[in-house]
Amino acid sequence: MTVTATRKQLSPAWVLFILTGLNLFNYLDRYVLSAVLTPIQKELGLSDSQAGGLGTIFMIGYFVTSPVFGWLGDRCSRKWLIAAGIFVWSVGTILTGFATTFAMMIAFRLLVGLGEASYATISPSLISDSYGPAKRNNALTIFYVAIPVGAALGMTIGGLIAAKWGWRHAFIWAGAPGLLLALVLLPFAELKRGQAEGKTAEAAKKPSVRDIVNLFRIPEYVLVVLGYSAYTFALGAFGIWGPTFLQRVHGVTVDKAGEFFGAVLAVAGLGGTMIGGFAATAWQKRNRAGYAWTLGLSVLAAVPLAFGAFLAGSTFWSMSFLAAAMFFLFLSTGPVNTLILETAPVNLRASAMAISIFMIHLFGDICSPVIVGWLSESFGGNLQKAVLILPVALIVASALWLALALKTKRGTAHNSTPA
């Protein structure tokens, strides 16, 4: 008798659990830099524009390679691409702790960005193949909860380790676990593309370059991505400059600034992501534009809070407004990614995610940290004035997403039939 060993396919719950855990380490590694930017500047003698450039170079590695991983993710073994990405970003994070020059920092942050591009591009498509439309947004919401939690851990752990043992140890200890975590998906069978919706035959069709280009002919997809670009412009720069803003404008210490953002990201980020995601799912069941309304209105509510945070003279009120603004901004985390996937054909979901990553970073946070640093230098080192560009970007994001909601609502009314 011949026994053929077959690999077991993970259940949807296990897929979500593992990918969410890996995403947590993804963002933990990314946000260590924000917590320790001030001591890095002091030791390496970096200007504000150079410091902002460390965030930008990460995004170059991240966004330039994302279309490549999107192309591969619709064709090749996704678990091996994910494993390779985790290993590469972990090595890059560890090596950052050994950098002694600005050029070395640039090279290692570029490596981190390249590794994270593989994971961020491909993982959401695995979740979309595990959960059907009714449960997909809730599943993606849970997956993206790792953003605030991972960022909170990165800022908190980075700040605490830097205060006690120096900024180099923060990168080394943050990156080390990934060397083992890269192996976690490899023993299990691949998920079939389109299996959650019974569209495996359609999903099996290999997309051409023309198919990918045609994503830009889908108005809903374009509005989602353009709005996301403006949103990312604001959040990307703030992710780099937020702790430094509190340190420089309000005299908060490095470790205390890291602890504050860690606590806010853990509470406001976790709560906002979960509340926004589950509320959007409920709204979507009653109104086809529910996801889009959640995006536009939540960001609009954050605009006056962001202005208040940057203009307040009181440290207490600045921090309070920052926490409230971050809560509203995180309401959109789940629905925006769900819309990116669901506005694209089933065989193009990895490519749709990859193109969105390319666009939001090209027009978003690849340039915004440097722009804020340049504005700060132009204003004589006045970072408080420089960051006022960020809530303006949020106004643009809200307008685009509200336009999407109105378009979707009109489309629903046009396509609906009397009961």
Whole-model pTM? 0.76
- Cβ atoms of 408 and 390 within 8 Å: the answer is no
Question: Residue 359's closest CA among 31, 116, 23, 67?
Answer: 67
**How many CB atoms neighbour CB 392 within 10 A?**
14
Q: Which residues contact 185 (CB under 8 A, 6 or more apart)?
A: 18, 79, 82, 83
Q: Which amino acid is at 361?
A: H
Structure confidence by residue, pLDDT tens digits, 189-217: 777 776 767 666 565 567 778 888 889 99
Look at residue 212 in the predicted model and tell me its pLDDT.
85
Residue 226 Cα distances to 117, 362, 395, angstroms:
19, 11, 13
Rounded to whole angstroms, the Cα distance separating 396 from 216 reads: 20
Instruction: Give the integer Cα–Cα distance in Å for 328 and 171.
Output: 30
386: alpha, beta or left? (left if phi > 0; alpha if psi -120 to 50): alpha
Angstrom distances, CA of residue 317 to CA of 207, 266, 395: 51, 19, 22
DSSP reduced 3-state for 366: coil
pLDDT digits (tens, 9 = 90+) for 279-323: 999 998 888 888 999 999 999 999 999 999 999 888 899 999 999
* Residue 207: both structure tokens together: 């997309």
Phi-psi region of 218 (alpha: psi -120 to 50; beta: other; left: phi over 0): beta
pLDDT value for 200: 63
Cα dihedral sign, 94-184-191-142 = negative
Pick out the chain residues at pLDDT < 50. Answer: 1-5, 412-419
Average predicted confidence (pLDDT) for the chain: 84
Do 150 and 26 form a contact (C-beta atoms < 8 A)?
yes
Note the pLDDT tens digit of each residue in 28-77: 888 888 788 888 888 888 887 788 778 778 878 887 888 888 888 777 78
pLDDT value at position 373? Answer: 87
Whether 273 and 333 have beta carbons less than 8 Å apart is answered as yes
17-189+216-413 has CATH 1.20.1250.20 classification: yes
| Domain locations along the chain | 17-189+216-413
pLDDT number for residue 196: 67
